[in-house]
Amino acid sequence: MSDRNNPPRKRIIGPIVVTLMCLAAAYFAWRSVVPPAPALLSKSSQGIASAEFADGAWYWIEGMNSPGAHLVRATGSSIAGVASTEQVRSFSIGHGKIAWIAGDGKTWSISVEGIDGSARAGIWSGDREPSGLYLADDKLYWLEQVPAAVPESGPMPPLGPTLKVVSAPLAAGAAPTALGSIMEPVGRKILGIHDDRLYAAANRGAFKDITTVYEIPLKGGPSKRIIGEVGDHSALLSPDGTLYWTSPSREDAQPDKAVCVWRLGRDGKPEPIQDWLPSGGRLFASGPTLCYIDGSYSASAWPIGAPGGMPQSLPLPAGYRAVAVGNGEILLQPEGVDKTTPIYRTALP
């Protein structure tokens, strides 16, 4: 019988393989522009802030800067208040524990407990609000403001309020230890620790807001300012110790309308990695992926470091705005309504 009536198997398999490859390519292309439908995670009774993913759950503060502000833990199966704590200002999670700063009238406190609610302990209390809480291994770190040497001294850092970096063991009653000082008046956030150096963000705002980042050696030595940018900006220390931050775009005619993301190179020199992003946003890390969520009303998520010139936002489900990125997911809220709306999540495209 001829080959025409009995085609060899390879003549049949070849077109099938090509067809399957085309279908797979078409599927992934479709997935890249049509994200999965979002799944409901929580129904927020108040606006949410400082959302982040850690130790298997999403955490955020509801009602930030209001008397009823409280910390929430959300997983795919449950929503719970953490220790029923109100007036929360900031929190940090790691190694199966959660720590937070909370106020009660004129008294401020720092507490820690297991993420399962066990072994709660008070670490510190005082009449000046601490900031920048960070939990690492068996210690807590935070920033405390030191009163001005000369009250009403104006924009003169040596005479005005400064900050001290403080640490304490995760045990009630242990005395805090001062690790160093920062010549800035307002503490923002401790970004992390890498190679025995702590990185902290602070603000200065006498005439114009300025965002700074300092490096503080944990084994002794003076603090060093490594970043100073005009405006209120975001900074992030990645797990591999790379420092990223935003600044006004040097390319835009209106630099307050666009930002550039920078990276501190191994040689200690700043490197621009993404420009022309909408201003007012926050940097997030999800594994090796770095994202920026802008501060607009219909906030988008922007991958950072992708090849090419102009930034390209990630595809989001229609009618939703981005809230946070973490664990391969994006938190979303519907557009066009106030912030007291349901919170959804979907896979990071």
Cβ(125)–Cβ(182) under 8 Å?
A: no
CB contact burial 71-97 (16+ within 10 A = b; e otherwise)? bbbbeeeeeeebbebbbbbbbbbeeeb
Q: What confidence tens digit (pLDDT) does each residue in 139-182 have? A: 999 999 998 887 776 666 677 899 999 999 987 778 899 999 99
Sheet holding 39-43, edge to edge: 39-43, 342-347, 329-334, 320-326
Q: What is the DSSP letter of 46?
A: S
- Is residue 345 a part of any domain in this protein? yes
Give the residues across from 203 on adjacent strands: 186, 211
CB-based contacts of 165: which residues, under 8 Å, 6+ apart?
141, 142, 143, 178, 179, 180, 181, 182, 190, 198, 200, 216, 223
- Is residue 318 a part of any domain in this protein? yes
Q: What is the DSSP letter of 8?
A: -
pLDDT tops 50 at residue 2: no
Long-range contacts of 206-215 (CB under 8 A, 24+ apart): 206/154, 206/155, 207/155, 211/235, 211/245, 212/184, 213/243, 213/245, 214/182, 214/184
Cβ(227)–Cβ(213) under 8 Å?
A: yes
**Which is nearest to 239 in space by CA: 203, 188, 199, 181?**
199
On average, the pLDDT of the chain sits at: 86
At 311, is the secondary structure helix, strand, or coil? coil
State residue 30's pLDDT score: 43
pLDDT tops 70 at residue 105: yes
- Average pLDDT over every residue of 48-52: 93
CA distance 270 to 285: 19
Q: What is the DSSP letter of 267?
A: T
Q: Please name the residue that has the structure tokens 């664990």.
A: 327
State residue 7's pLDDT score: 52
How far is the CA of 257 from the CAs of 11, 77, 252, 279, 312, in angstroms?
A: 59, 40, 8, 5, 17
- Which residue type is seen at 176? P
Percent of the chain with pLDDT over 70: 84
CA distance 344 to 323: 9
CA distance 277 to 259: 5
- Is residue 242 a part of any domain in this protein? yes
Structure tokens at 133: 């809480």
Among the ranges given (183-187, 234-238, 333-337), the one the predictor scored with the smallest mean pLDDT: 333-337
CA distance 256 to 246: 12
- Average pLDDT over every residue of 104-113: 90
- Which residue type is seen at 206? A
CA distance 112 to 83: 10
State residue 26's pLDDT score: 45
Cβ(205)–Cβ(173) under 8 Å?
A: no
- Which strand (E) or helix (H) includes residue 248? strand 243-248
Per the model's pLDDT, the better-predicted residue between 348 and 80 turns out to be 348
- Which strand (E) or helix (H) includes residue 227? strand 224-230
- Is residue 268 a part of any domain in this protein? yes
Domains in the chain: how many in total? 1
Most confident of 26-35, 120-129, 206-215: 120-129
- When pLDDT is cut at 50, 70 and 90, the band that residue 12 belongs to is low
Q: What confidence tens digit (pLDDT) does each residue in 313-342 have? A: 999 999 999 999 999 999 999 987 665 678
Cβ(149)–Cβ(158) under 8 Å?
A: yes
- When pLDDT is cut at 50, 70 and 90, the band that residue 116 belongs to is confident
Structure tokens at 311: 């930034």
- Is residue 160 a part of any domain in this protein? no
Domain hosting residue 312, numbered range: 234-349
- Is residue 86 a part of any domain in this protein? no
101, HSE (Cβ side, Cα atoms, 13 Å): 23
- Is residue 26 a part of any domain in this protein? no
- When pLDDT is cut at 50, 70 and 90, the band that residue 35 belongs to is low
- Is residue 282 a part of any domain in this protein? yes
pLDDT tops 90 at residue 255: no
